[in-house]
Chains A and B, each alone.
Chain A
Amino acid sequence: MDKKSKVSFIVDPTQKTHRLGINKLAISPNGTLLATAGRDSTLNIFNIAKSGFQQPTHVSHFNGHTDWVNCVEFCNNDLIFSGSSDGTVKLWDSSNGKELCGIKNHLDYVSCLAYCSNTAQLITGGFDHNLILYKINEKPRVNRKMISYQVNYKGNKDSIYSLDINQKGNLIISGGAEKVIRFWDIRQKKKLWKMVGHRENIRDLKFLPDGNRLLSAGSDGMLFLWDIRNKSFVWKKKISHKGGIWSINVDLENDQIITSGKDRWIRRSSLKNCETKNIIKNDFSVTSICKDPNNKLWIADHSSNLKCFQLGLPLGKKKLKPNNEIEIEIQMDEKENNENENENENENENENEKEKEKEKEKEKEKETKEENEKENEKEKKENEKEKEKEKEKEKEKEKEKEKEKEKEKEKEKEKEKENEKENEEKNQEIIIKETKNEENNDNKKKIKIMISGEPGIIKHQILNDNIRILVKKSDGQVYLFHICGSLLEEYGKCDFQEKLKEINPFIFIPKWFTVTTFTGSLMITLNVKNVFLANNFSENIPLLQNGKKGNVINIGKVLLDSLFHIWHKNRLKMRKEKEIEMKREMEKRKREQEEKKEKKEKEKEKENETRKEQEQERKKEKQTENEKGTDENEEDKDKDTDQEEEKEREKEKGKGKKKKEKEKKKKDNKEKRKKEKKKDKEQEKEKEKEKKNGKKKNKESDNEINMELIKTEDEKMQYAKTYFPIQPKTPLILHTDQISLITTSQGKYIKSKGVQIFKYNFDEFEGHEDDGIIPIWVEDFICNRTIPKTKNDNKLAINILPYDKKKSKKTTRIQCYHLISIRRVLENISKRFNLKLLKKDDQENSEKIKVEKYVELICKAGNKEVLLEPQWTLGTIQKFIWKSYKEMELYWRLKPEKEIKKK
């Protein structure tokens, strides 16, 4: 059967914020919307067009992915592409978060994507080494095939981590673990050349608008500016000495490249001379940065918070703005310099290493120079020119600085008069730098806007009852969740392990589901192999609805029923409607046929009439009589026939209704019969089972505790289902391994390779989700109540031996389910051994003797002897005391009389 098909659902999903780090940011072409791609498998859209530092408004939320979202890009102001670790690329509406299209062509994580609006081409890259090009159709909303597959570029030799497409839409660049930048020609559909230089994984690539130059950054901390025309780099610089650069943002207007990455620093570098300055240090590694038209820098990092800093103007840049800003800028730069010096002092220890690194770099450079000799010659010339230019510039700058210092002195006096608050706002960058040692406090000051995320789950443990899950979130709070998603307890900040010890019940229930938390939420996965393994008494199962005490309940069945009963209900409804429609159509067709026949007859009549007319006309021509009178007569006849037809239709409708009613009744009867038959069959099955059991009993007659008392609830009461309260809008993730192409009624067009994933909210099933979407085993269970047979009947074999061989030699072997309690075993063996437990005191209440008062069982495990409590189950004892798959050995003895008397 379909082994890979499974059902997952997310407990307590997020709605408006992120629960884990944010992987990627994108800003819409018109600069008003910000998209955030989260590790919690969701994306959010914020409106950032508001003036000043007002909190952006949440526009929409997209939860179509099932794993980390790694990349996001705007198609236009309304539509968004996103790519995820679940292997899918999705196109969705930014205004409402509705999915328009999903494709799965990558065989591994989708790591990056880029879109060229001029040619409407989307390019995606993944860990499967492939680049896939798609054409976006002009009217995606109308056409179902919004994304059409074009070319799969194969030829990368390792995972792709970055790519870009030029504005003309004819050239793709890709980079990744292969450490080279590869070029691909879109028109000729082939690999062109590669550029070597990076020493580690290439994490980001950006074409400059001119299309001739590009920037690359990598895990080696290097930033390269390349020129495609001579296939070599213009300059390169090791910007980060502690970890890689993960994100590049190009701002040509201000001649600056903003970079960020592992070492938390956000830096700006000049495109012309790669001069680099630190701007701010974030409190987490920065995954992505994005600059909006208002010069605000949006920052995504490993926390779930989204931050925004106001960028000042870059070095040496003069704009026709109030003088203050220029001064501030200069001040900042000076301070930055000082800071850099301080940094150097702080990092004296690292200097040697750095020098070594530099040496190494030089060596590497030599190598790369050898690789790119020709280009280097050009470079040298250029560099010389640039140096000359730089010298000139420096002189100019010095002059400027002198002037500006004079101005500063004058304006400092003025500044003092100004409000401090204003200063704080305007000079935030400066303030940040001044108090660099107290980074945390500073950063809070620096942050202009912060969209706070939620804490995500960082630790989880399923309790022994396999129904409750203890969870610790990133803020240290500990919670207890029910498998169905309901929050049972909030414990606040406490020790996870101690809390676990405190609340973990002493019971063994087989594992029947798995839990993952890689999206920061609990994701529970049900698999056909184990979902039906776990039974428990209804009183041990919290939040059970319709459950009766003392019944044994299969938890997996209850959960499946809870998750799919809406689908089942709607499906039955749909089927009925379909049948009715079918019948209607059939009737229609019949009617139409009848009508056709009638029409034909009429036509024939007409033809006959016309012939007659013609004949008459001919006669008339001959006889020249009145023509109008005959015409009128004919019209009257037509009307009469129409009326007759209508009457007939009405009659037929009436009949139809009656028919339908009859059919419904028939159906009901049939269903009843079916049910009865089923019941009969089941009864038969049960009888057969009983027979079998009987046979077994004949063989092992004394060796088995009568299991009739422990029949599962739904075997007894076939249609009285029990449910868990599932949270509204809980997303179900259905993994199926069957289909390659599907068009659903919602207009989703999905082409798949390998395992296909569907995501539905459990309460929004419409009933049409059918072949291939709902795993076969779920359908079998929900619709037909059939469960795959398992070889293991989960029975334990127990040898009951006398504790003291001198007193008794009665032994026996029992086979029973792990849920049987010690109390039941005691009752059983007391009967079997004919123990005379009745004492004088008890004779009055002889009907209700508590066997545990007189007999006890002991488990010898290792060197220890454990006296077994009557409420413990055999499974529990095997799991936690016996700790072996060998047949259990339990020792029985009569309790000493003294103890009995005491009690």
Chain B
Amino acid sequence: MGVGYSKTEKDLGEGFPKEERLMGLNNYGNTCYANSILQSLYHCIPFREFVLSQHNKELSKIEQMNLLNCLSELFHNIRYNSKQIGKVGPRKFIGKLRKVNLLFAGKTQQDAQEFLNFLLNEISDLYLQHKYPEMNLHDRSRQETEIHKIFRGELSTETKCRCCESSTSRKEHFLDLSLDIQENCSLTNCFKQFSIPEKLVGENKYYCECCRSLQEAYKTTRISKLPQILVIHQKRFKYFERIQSHKKLFHKVSLPLEFKILNTTKKCKKKNIPYELFAMVIHKGHAPHFGHYVAIIKSHDKWILMDDERVIVVNENFLEYFFGTPVGESVHNETSYILFYQQMDHKKNIQEQK
């Protein structure tokens, strides 16, 4: 293994900043779903900085610590590790995770997206509990946290009744955006598809408040607030009623390294700022609760594959391998699953600050 590390260091080249750490994470029995997400989140700079800011040296016993403390200790261990490339064991974090949520208690594989969603919400709650211990649950849940500032976007759903032509809109927050995928399409296509008006007809008619009856309607969902970090969850696991289980779609979805979101509302701010890809969670296998997860992250213009404790520098072209299988070709089962994009100007700002 020692040879591998030295090779990676060579691959990084001299330009790579010395204070940046690339640490593999030990697998404690099918915990690659967590490892891949943790790697992606660690290399999400605003999130890393927030978590590190929550570090409390006084807490060391796991009984005293909550999940956020565990996470910040883990990030601290990575950030201030003596080696630049190596591995750490997220034992405390995994241990705590298995205690606080029954879903992740066993040693079976879990859905990385479910884990990400749970982790972000849990951290957000813990942060608020710490910050506003006196506040009641309802008021507390309305407070905006750093997590929200980083990841939270807003969707606006407009429904227009075909009968009275009046429209109503409803707003909804999201931490990650779930996108349907089609065969041989691009991510921009998926976004387009996302905002194509949905017909509410037949058995699925819309109760129009104006008509006070069920009428046909169009429903259109657009993005009304763009998040700083956009997490995209590709709906690769589709439920088929016929076989009564989830099946993985291996469709090729080409991912742009940079792109602009076009399906925004008129009032949406910053809609011209492009997003760039900085991390990608890859799923190998046929079902969300089976197989293996790895992450590819971008750190200082280098793409690095994080496969549990292994750290491998890869070429940018290598990413294309994970876009999926085009129609007609024999399926290989390693596909992109969760994508992490960041707003480009924000990253520059951070660099300037440094």
Contact = CB atoms under 8 A, between A and B. Distances in A.
B202 A108 contact: yes
Nearest to B202: A108
B215 to A, nearest CB: 9
B214 interface: yes
B165 interface: yes
A703 interface: no
Interface string B181-216: 000000000000000000101100000000011101
B212 A518 contact: yes
Nearest to B213: A518
B157 to A, nearest CB: 19
9 contacts: A85-B213, A108-B201, A127-B201, A127-B216, A159-B162, A243-B165, A244-B165, A458-B212, A518-B214
A243 B214 CA distance: 20
B212 A262 contact: no
A108 B162 CA distance: 15
A199 B214 CA distance: 24
Nearest to A517: B212
Contacts of B199: 158, 177
A515 to B, nearest CB: 13
A201 B162 CA distance: 8
Interface string A196-222: 000001000000000000000001000
B281 to A, nearest CB: 39
Contact residues of B: prevailing secondary structure: loop
A177 B162 CA distance: 8
B268 interface: no
Scoring B164, B199, B212 by chain A CB atoms within 10 A of each residue's CB, the highest score goes to: B212
B55 to A, nearest CB: 36
Interface string B228-269: 000000000000000000000000000000000000000000
Contacts of A68: 213
B165 A262 contact: yes
Please list the 6 inter-chain residue pairs (A to B) with the smallest Cβ-Cβ separation, ordered nearest first: A518-B213, A262-B165, A243-B165, A244-B165, A219-B165, A201-B162
Contact of A177 (B164, B165, B213, B216): B216
B267 to A, nearest CB: 15
Contacts of B164: 262, 285, 302
A224 to B, nearest CB: 18
A849 to B, nearest CB: 46
Nearest to B160: A219
Contacts of A39: 213
Contact of A159 (B165, B213, B214, B216): B216
A285 B201 CA distance: 23
Contacts of B214: 518
Interface in A230-289: 243-244, 262, 285
Contacts of A518: 212-214
B38 to A, nearest CB: 38
Interface string B81-108: 0000000000000000000000000000
Contacts of B201: 108, 127, 159
Contacts of A67: 213
A518 B213 CA distance: 5
Interface string A513-536: 000011000000000000000000
Contacts of A127: 201-202, 216
A68 B205 CA distance: 15
A68 B215 CA distance: 11
Contacts of A517: 212
Nearest to A70: B163
Nearest to B164: A285
B264 to A, nearest CB: 18
A219 B216 CA distance: 14
A461 to B, nearest CB: 15
A799 B164 CA distance: 55
A517 to B, nearest CB: 7
Contacts of B202: 108, 127
B159 to A, nearest CB: 15
A159 B201 CA distance: 9
Nearest to A20: B212
B296 to A, nearest CB: 43
A110 to B, nearest CB: 13
A437 to B, nearest CB: 25
